[in-house]
Chains A and B, each alone.
Chain A
Amino acid sequence: MKALVISLCSELLSEMEFVTPLVRIARHSGYLVQLGRVGEVTHARGFDAVLLSGTALQDFGYLDQMGTLSWLRDFPGKVLGVCAGMQVLALLHGAELFDCEEIGMTEIHSESASPLPERFEVYALHRKAVRGGKLEVLGSSARCAQVVKVPGMEHFGMLFHPEVRNPELVSALLGRLK
């Protein structure tokens, strides 16, 4: 199984924080991992899964690169967008962003039909959240949707940072999706 991890970071120094941990989790989940950068990747042919990284709190450079990621909408494999990555995924499916800052540990309540635990603690680090669009909400904090799924596809978004306190969720999701 091959995974493409796409960095949405504008700064190389941020990749050590937001991309490297995702690469490690994907490897531990049994994937061969290749790294790409937003703006440079134009497709993911030959890959079974695509992971989109988060970014620093001040970094919204990825919003200027949305046009280079439109192919993701129809990517037949699995997708996991983390934080900024979830925002990208949601925007591609008609959602909009709104100002919503959460920094630190927060609790998520999952929907009854969700494969997630009923309640769990996560590390959140975002200034924007998503609403609307053709998305199924699987879990939410008190402030906003935190886990979404694109109906009919194996495309998921997590607004929180699972690599910090919930790496098993990424592994489980990648595993389940296998």
Chain B
Amino acid sequence: MRLGVLFSGGKDSCMALHLTRETGHDIACLLTVLPRNPESFLFHTPNIDWTAVPHLTVESDGKKESEVEDLRRLLALAQERFGIKGVATGAIESVYQAERIQRVCAALGLWVFNPLWKRDQTEHLRELLTLGFEVLVVGVFAEHLDEDWLGRRLDSPAIEELISLARKGIQPAGEGGELETFVLFAPGWRQRIQVTDCLPEFSLGSGILAIHSVRRLPP
């Protein structure tokens, strides 16, 4: 099926992209709603060439109540330009997120695929590692995740540490909004990303890693 993949550059949307490809679907485009005012490494970073798939974006006006309309515009545009029949997402737990996407897609007659839905978060993290994903922590927004986590790779010790934080209320894969990630490499990508200039910004218990420039390397 000809599909678009909702894409943030983080680990979950990249895993959804991987699974969509692995199950034989034709990935027509990556789809992103851009914040108008991104502080946002994720969206400033020139990521279009990572995966050899066209990247379609629409700009959000940043208002909460417009989120659904922003998504509808993006998906309608993808239908028109790329002829997509459905959408894949990296949703794992959020009923709020899943419901909005289901509603918009139902109205547009699009299929929805949530291949990570209800996935065990511990297994999810370990599978990322097994499959060769290289993932950087670029945002922390919870107690027990201090500024030392910014810029940290999700390697085996980091993942085990996140899993051990579950008993302190941290959802290991960050489904509670505890952390944001940025994927440097994933299976099937034709380039590997190296961050060449970044700055951690941490205050009042939360922070981001602002990525200012990257270099693309052969895989």
B200 part of interface (Cβ distance < 8 Å): no
CB atoms of B118 and A163 under 8 A apart:
yes
CB atoms of B1 and A104 under 8 A apart:
no
CB atoms of B117 and A58 under 8 A apart:
no
B43 part of interface (Cβ distance < 8 Å): no
Tell me, in angstroms, the Cα distance from A103 to B95 when the chains sit together: 10
Interface 0/1 of A101-123, CB less than 8 Å to B: 10111000000000000000001
Given contacts A58-B109, A103-B102, A125-B102, contact A16 B117 (CB under 8 A): yes
CB atoms of A56 and B113 under 8 A apart:
yes
B12 to chain A, nearest CB (A): 13
CB atoms of A101 and B106 under 8 A apart:
yes
CB atoms of B95 and A165 under 8 A apart:
yes
Interface set, chain A 71-102, CB cutoff 8 A to B: 101
Name the CB-closest residue of A to B118: A21
Contacts of B110 in A (CB 8 A): 58
Given contacts A13-B19, A103-B102, A125-B102, contact A56 B120 (CB under 8 A): no
Q: How large is the interface on B (under 10, 10 to 19, 20 to 34, 35 or more residues)?
A: 20 to 34
Choose among A14, A21, A123 the residue that contacts B113 (Cβ–Cβ < 8 A): A14
Interface set, chain A 1-42, CB cutoff 8 A to B: 11-14, 16-17, 20-21, 24
A127 part of interface (Cβ distance < 8 Å): yes
A168 part of interface (Cβ distance < 8 Å): no
Choose among A24, A123, A125 the residue that contacts B120 (Cβ–Cβ < 8 A): A24
Tell me, in angstroms, the Cα distance from A10 to B66 when the chains sit together: 33
Q: How large is the interface on A (under 10, 10 to 19, 20 to 34, 35 or more residues)?
A: 20 to 34
CB atoms of A21 and B95 under 8 A apart:
no
Contacts of A20 in B (CB 8 A): 118-119
Name the CB-closest residue of A to B101: A103
CB atoms of A57 and B112 under 8 A apart:
yes
Tell me, in angstroms, the Cα distance from A13 to B118 when the chains sit together: 14
A59 to chain B, nearest CB (A): 7
Interface set, chain B 93-110, CB cutoff 8 A to A: 95, 99, 102-103, 105-106, 109-110
A17 to chain B, nearest CB (A): 4
CB atoms of A56 and B19 under 8 A apart:
no
CB atoms of B114 and A17 under 8 A apart:
yes
CB atoms of B106 and A123 under 8 A apart:
no
Tell me, in angstroms, the Cα distance from A97 to B212 when the chains sit together: 55
Given contacts A13-B25, A105-B95, contact A164 B118 (CB under 8 A): yes
Interface set, chain B 6-31, CB cutoff 8 A to A: 19-20, 23-25
Binding site for B on A (CB under 8 A): 11-14, 16-17, 20-21, 24, 56-59, 101, 103-105, 123, 125, 127, 163-165
Binding site for A on B (CB under 8 A): 1, 19-20, 23-25, 86, 88, 95, 99, 102-103, 105-106, 109-120
Question: Nearest 3 A-B pairs (CB), nearest first?
Answer: A104-B99, A16-B115, A21-B118
- For the A-B complex with A13-B23, A104-B99, A164-B95 known, give 7 more contacts whose Cβ atoms are closer than 8 Å: A11-B113, A13-B20, A16-B114, A16-B119, A58-B109, A104-B102, A125-B102
